[in-house]
Every structure is written in C-alpha cells, then in structure tokens.
Amino acid sequence: MKNPQTIAEKLNKHKSVAVALLALLLALFWYLQHREPQKIPTVRLDERIPVSVALVSNAAVRDSFSTVGTVEAFREAEIFSESAGLVRKVLAEPGTPKKAGEALFLLDDELATARKRKADAYYQKAKRDAERYKILYSEGAVALSACESAQLQLDEAEAEFTAATRKYGDTRVKAPFSGIVTARFVQQGELVQEGKRVAQMVDMTKVKVIIFVPERQIIKFEPGKLLKVTSDLYQGEAFTGKVGAVSDKAGRDHTFRVEVVVQNSGHSTFRSGMFARVLLKGEGDRQALLVPRVALVSGIRKPELFVVRNGKAFLKPFVAGMELQKQIEVLGGLSAGESVVISGQNELNDGSDVVVIEQQKGPAAP
C-alpha cells in the first residue's frame, strides 16, 4: 500500500493541472446547457425560382433534315489585267451583263501591235526559208545541217509570233465567263500595270446554297440528290436544289460543308448573301422521344438541361439524336414523362429549389 503522504505530495505537485482540467469540464458543461437548439433551414415558397416545364414524350417523326444556309454565286471571280498600258476604253459598268470572251476594257495596243507585226514578218520569212532549204536538201544542193538550222529558226520565229499575239490579245481585258459585272476598279485614261485588279464578276444563272450538315446526317447527302429549297422572301414558293460538292473533312463543330445548286431563273431570283432553307424529306414515320429545343442550357455538342423532381431542378446531360425545327430527339439519358425546364433556366443551379408556374404538354409531331 502506498504511503498517504506520498500521494498528497504528488497531488500538491500537480495542483495547477488539476485545476485547469476542472475548469475545462465546467465550461463544456455550461455550453451544453445554454446553447440554442439547431434550427432546420426551411425554404419559403417566395424564395423558390419560378420555372415553366414541359414533359418528355414520344411523338411520330420523319427522318427529315432542315437547316438554313447562305446563298452564294455559282461562280465569282476578280479580274486582273495581264498587260500594262493606258485604259483607252471602259466597256464594263457595274450591273452590266457580259458573255464569256466579251471585252471589258481596251488598253493602249500601239506597241503590242508593232511587236506582233514584227514577229509575224520574221515568222513568214523563216517559214519561206525553211521550205526553200527543204527543197534544196532534197535535191542535194545543201547539207542536212543547213536544213536543220533553217527549221530551228522557224521554230523560234513561231514561238515569238505566238508570244506577241498573246501580248496583243492581252490589251483587251475579257470576261472569263458569262455573268454580271459587280465592280469596276479602274477608270478611262488610267495607267494599269500587269497584274492589277480591274473588275469583279459573278455568275448568277445558278446559285449555291452553303449548308453545314452534322456527321449523323451527312450520309444522306449524296452528290446529285434532289432537295427542297425555300426562302422567307418568296413565301409559298419551293425550289429544287441538287447536292453538288460535299466536303470530306468536318470542321471543329463536327459538321460538313455541303453545296446545294439551284437554278436561278424566273421572276423569283436569289441574290448572293441571302438566306435559304434546305429540306431533306425522309421516308415513313417512326416513334421517337423528344424534348423542346429551348430546354437546352448548352450547345448541341454537349447537350444538357434541367429536370424537375420533388421541387428541385437538377442539371442532367443526355444523348441527342436528330435535330428538328423545335424539338431534339433523345437517344439516351431521359425517360418519357420527365419534366424539363423550358423557361427560367438561366437563374438555376444544380439542385436549386423551384416552383412550377406553367406546364406544357409534350411536343407534337414535327
């Protein structure tokens, strides 16, 4: 048994530690007795975000594709002068129709004419010399080398005559194709240098509607396939387009460039820069799960929307399929009957409390 005196000495030695522990226990007991009960947060109705929703539902759809494209001229070219000289005559004003090969500008041709006449004279002389040496060689009057030299001079003279004739022709700046002059960049009396831009032309007898097709649809756009083309400018009218060039390389948004060629004749004509809608009609109907396009909170490359469950909105990704005018096909991630937010999603975060102020029915068949 320990000596009582020894125990008392130890307690006396650690008296300060014992007092600190006792004070800590008393403070903890007081805090537990006097703390306020924890309040459970509640969400008042006026603090919820008002939203409109629509139901995800099945509808009959046709595998059609519709998109808006930009109209471009079938051919467009900037015209450059291939000769230097003063502009003697202007035959091209903006808006003037020109046939292929017609003159747009006449340049000073005095020097070009002189060079052509000189080259022509040298060419005719070389031709006569070559014929004479051939006769003499056949009679044995001259050596073969003399005949070959005459023929070489003829070839050189012919090349010089061809170049001079081309230079003379370049003094007439001609239309490369049949079309309309859209711009003129030089005036009569102006000195132009070789390679100077002088005019611009477009061929609008046909136009190209440039559209961009998603990769899931591109297999349907084969060259030569007929499509329907409409324009808001010509209400109630439909035009026939034909698939022309189809790009073999997609852009960063995974779409392919497609040219749709449309004949541009009649009273309803397209102009470069206009918008036109291209429609590819499918064959037969099928059932598909659809959501309104306005429900998307991000781009179609990464489709997401808000789904409402038990008074809360949850951000949910899904797999998108065919794009319709006002709806998007759902291939996965959503079920029929779910409520998706179509108005008010800009105020939402994942898990936000919401109150539904309007519910629309599911999408009708497009």
The pTM of this model reads 0.58
Q: Which residue has the tokens 């070789």?
A: 194
Short-list 283, 301, 287, 309, CA closest to 363:
287
Four-residue CA torsion sign, 220, 225, 230, 236: negative
Question: Average per-residue pLDDT in the chain?
Answer: 86
Q: What is the pLDDT of residue 15?
A: 65
Using N-to-C axis directions, what is the helix angle for 15-34 and 4-13, rounded to 10°?
60
At 284-313, the pLDDT tens digits run 678 889 999 899 987 777 889 999 999 999
Which stretches of the chain drop beneath a pLDDT of 50?
A: 1-2, 43, 45, 364-366
- Identify the H or E element spanning 259: strand 255-263
CB neighbourhood size of 171 (10 A): 22
Q: What is the pLDDT of residue 139?
A: 87
Distances (CA, A) of 326 to 68, 168, 278, 323, 342: 14, 62, 16, 8, 12
Query: In this structure, are residues 342 and 360 in contact, taking their beta carbons and an 8 Å threshold?
Result: yes
Q: How far apart are CA 186 and CA 87, in angstroms?
A: 8
Q: How far apart are CA 243 and CA 229, in angstroms?
A: 11
Q: What is the pLDDT of residue 286?
A: 81
